[in-house]
Amino acid sequence: MSNSIRVLLADDHAVVRAGIRQFMERAGDIQVVAEAEDGEVAKALIERHHPDVAVLDIQMPKASGIEVTRWVRANILTTGVLILTAYDDDPYIMAVLQAGANGYVLKTAAPAEIIQAVHDVYAGKSVLDATIARKLMAQVAGQGAPAPVEPLTDREMEVLKLAGKGYTNKAIGVNLGISDRTVQGHLARVFDKLQATSRTEAVMRAVSLGWLPPELGELGDS
């Protein structure tokens, strides 16, 4: 299993962990290298194993999945974070995305969808459960983007479209023939113009403004 995706699984319910581990490892290319029953243990194991993807519940003792996500983004930049939880409340969703999670999937999703989400996060894509994507779309549409909104340049729009399709900065750069640093600069200006704090939020705002097609509002949903 040298080419497998190395996963850390963190959930405070042993039965839940066992079930998730079982169907993940049946996929054949996913290896659960460690399990954690609370947030502090999760951080210690992530630091020890440097997994490709950390699959975290939100509500855990000692440190929440949101706190662990912030810690991962600050310390273990190579590890992708997939939130797998029963919570679909708006405050949780926004807190997770702002913390820097790469994906947010509900435990009601089919095993195949969760496995695909692990693959997508490993590939550097953003993943949102379809239910979560619709809630975010409704929220953004209800709030509206701050006015006035400065239009994006053609190149900024190209970068945002590719980001909305789940492309990494490197992949966007290759696609457009520009450097990673230039891509980062374009995204920074896009975030500033749309007053967004993440790719997901920027795409949602652009969709709500009619600048992007609605299907891009469901990042990684396939």
Instruction: Report the CATH number at residue 163.
Output: 1.10.10.10
Indicate if 119 and 145 belong to the same structural domain.
no
Which positions ≥6 away from 222 have C-beta within 8 Å? Answer: 116
* Total domains present in the chain: 2
Domain boundary among 67, 94, 124: 124
Indicate if 146 and 66 belong to the same structural domain.
no
Q: Return the pLDDT at 221.
A: 38
In this predicted model, what pLDDT tens digit does every residue of 105-145 receive, in sequence order?
999 999 999 999 999 999 988 888 877 777 666 665 655 44
Instruction: Say if residues 45 and 73 touch (Cβ distance below 8 Å).
Output: no
Indicate if 186 and 162 belong to the same structural domain.
yes
In this predicted model, what pLDDT tens digit does every residue of 47-106 receive, in sequence order?
999 999 999 999 999 999 999 999 998 888 789 999 999 887 777 777 888 888 899 999
Indicate if 76 and 119 belong to the same structural domain.
yes
Range of the domain at 82: 5-124
Indicate if 114 and 55 belong to the same structural domain.
yes
- What is the distance between the alpha carbons of residues 33 and 53, in angstroms, rounded to a whole number? 10
Q: Is the pLDDT of residue 219 over 50?
A: no
Q: Return the pLDDT at 93.
A: 79
Indicate if 23 and 111 belong to the same structural domain.
yes
Indicate if 88 and 173 belong to the same structural domain.
no
130 assigned to some structural domain: no
In this predicted model, what pLDDT tens digit does every residue of 152-200 receive, in sequence order?
899 999 999 898 887 888 999 999 999 989 999 999 999 888 888 888 8
Q: Return the pLDDT at 148.
A: 62
Indicate if 65 and 147 belong to the same structural domain.
no
> For residue 147, what are the β-bridge partners?
none
Indicate if 118 and 169 belong to the same structural domain.
no
- Residue 104 is given by DSSP the state E
41 assigned to some structural domain: yes
Neighbours of 55 (CB within 10 A): 30
Residue 156 token pair: 């900024």
Indicate if 78 and 154 belong to the same structural domain.
no
CATH number at residue 95: 3.40.50.2300
3-state secondary structure of 26: helix
Instruction: Say if residues 133 and 221 touch (Cβ distance below 8 Å).
Output: yes
65 assigned to some structural domain: yes
Q: Is the pLDDT of residue 213 over 80?
A: no
Domain boundary among 95, 124, 153: 124
- What is the distance between the alpha carbons of residues 125 and 203, in angstroms, rounded to a whole number? 14
- What is the distance between the alpha carbons of residues 182 and 169, in angstroms, rounded to a whole number? 9
> For residue 83, what are the β-bridge partners?
56, 104
**Through-space distance between the first and last CA atoms of the chain, rounded to whole angstroms:** 26
